[in-house]
């Protein structure tokens, strides 16, 4: 691998909530607030982006587990910062602690697990399912 992947690596995503990230659009609710699936999307993005520069060419990570508490609603127009911290490395398994804060509250916390995979092999195995 490129740079060493070790606990403590952090990632960050900053967003301004707009209509395309709402519970209404994700069909996960009926109000114009940051949707839980959108929150999880950005938590995964923070984790992915934190380790991507450390991976050798031909490797990527895939998400395998998310355990998130969505603690507070965030309205359209508010800024949110989502952070990840690599808490544990066990071979190809990476476990991240994730959290999100809007301009007022801690809005989400949780863990996110990813695995390092060979991109070509992963894609080939996945696409082979189409012929079954």
Residue 5 maps to a domain: no
Q: Cα torsion at 111, 60, 21, 66 (round to 10°)?
A: -20
Q: Cα Rg for the chain, rounded, in angstroms?
A: 16
What's the pLDDT tens digit per position in 92-121? 999 999 999 999 999 999 999 999 999 999
- Residue 4 pLDDT class (50, 70, 90 cuts): confident
pTM for this model (two decimals): 0.94
Q: Where are the alpha helices (DSSP H) in the chain?
A: 23-26, 36-51, 119-128
Which range marks the domain in which residue 69 is found?
A: 10-131
Task: State how far the Cα of 25 lies from the Cα of 30, in Å rounded to an integer.
Answer: 9
The answer to whether 19 and 76 have CB atoms below 8 angstroms apart is yes
Question: Which 3 state secondary structure label does DSSP give 41?
Answer: helix
Q: Residue 60 belongs to a domain with what CATH number?
A: 3.10.129.10
Q: Give strand pairing partners of 119.
A: none
Residue 4 maps to a domain: no
Q: Which residues 6+ apart lie within 8 Å of 123 measured at CB?
A: none
Q: What is the DSSP letter of 72?
A: S
Closest among 70, 91, 67 to 80, alpha carbons compared = 70
Cβ burial of 97 (10 Å; 0-12, 13-18, 19+) is middle
| pLDDT for position 1 | 44
What's the pLDDT tens digit per position in 63-73? 999 999 999 99
Domains in the chain, number: 1
Residue 97 maps to a domain: yes
């Amino acid at each position: 691998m490129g740079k060493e992947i070790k606990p403590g690596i952090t990632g960050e995503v900053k967003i301004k909530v707009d209509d395309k990230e709402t519970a209404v659009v994700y069909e996960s609710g009926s109000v114009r607030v940051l949707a839980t699936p959108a929150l999880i999307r950005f938590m995964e993005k923070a984790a992915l982006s934190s380790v991507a520069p450390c991976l050798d060419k031909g490797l990527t990570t895939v998400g395998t587990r998310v355990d998130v508490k969505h603690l507070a609603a965030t309205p359209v127009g508010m800024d949110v910062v989502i952070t990840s911290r690599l808490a544990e490395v066990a071979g190809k398994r990476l476990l991240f602690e994730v959290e999100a804060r809007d301009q007022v509250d801690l809005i989400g916390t949780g863990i996110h697990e990813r695995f390092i995979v060979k991109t070509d092999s992963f894609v080939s195995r996945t696409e082979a399912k189409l012929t079954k």
